[in-house]
């Protein structure tokens, strides 16, 4: 059962593949904002994954975050997602990302519970 407070923490090391320069979101060799967002979404997905009905998953629909500090190559980034609200299929999470220096980003993320087969069938229309 999906209850407020479900939480998951995801980790990522800052490396060439997730630099802003590599991803095209900037021209510096620092942790890219799109990488931070993906890590936050990953944490939210896993926070509820074990509580979903068989054949279901969640998909991201909205994310509103700030990325306030850069993170250097080799840093470990930790993203934490906590389920704040359940409204039918709509799930709202608080998300934060941190490195060894403290919080680098935070905000909210909305995901929806979907049936995997029905969702993928929409691609064939």
Please calculate the CA angle 9-45-55 and round it to the nearest 5 degrees. Answer: 140
Catalytic machinery residues: 33, 41, 67
The binding site consists of 60, 111
Alpha-carbon distances of 96 from 43, 46, 66, rounded to whole Å: 10, 15, 9
Judge contact between 104 and 71, C-beta under 8 A.
yes
The binding site for CoA consists of 60
The binding site for substrate consists of 60, 111
């Amino acid at each position: 059962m999906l209850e407020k407070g479900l939480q998951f923490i995801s980790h990522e090391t800052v490396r060439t593949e997730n630099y802003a320069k590599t991803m095209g979101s900037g021209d510096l060799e620092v942790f890219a904002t799109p990488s931070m967002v993906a890590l936050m979404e990953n944490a939210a997905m896993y926070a509820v994954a074990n509580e979903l009905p068989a054949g279901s998953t969640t998909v991201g629909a909205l994310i509103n975050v700030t990325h306030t500090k850069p993170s250097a190559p080799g840093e470990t980034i930790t993203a934490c997602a906590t389920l704040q609200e359940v409204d039918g299929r709509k799930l709202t999470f608080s998300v934060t990302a941190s490195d060894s220096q403290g919080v680098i980003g935070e905000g909210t993320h909305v995901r929806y519970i979907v049936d995997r087969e029905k969702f993928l069938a929409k691609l064939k229309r």
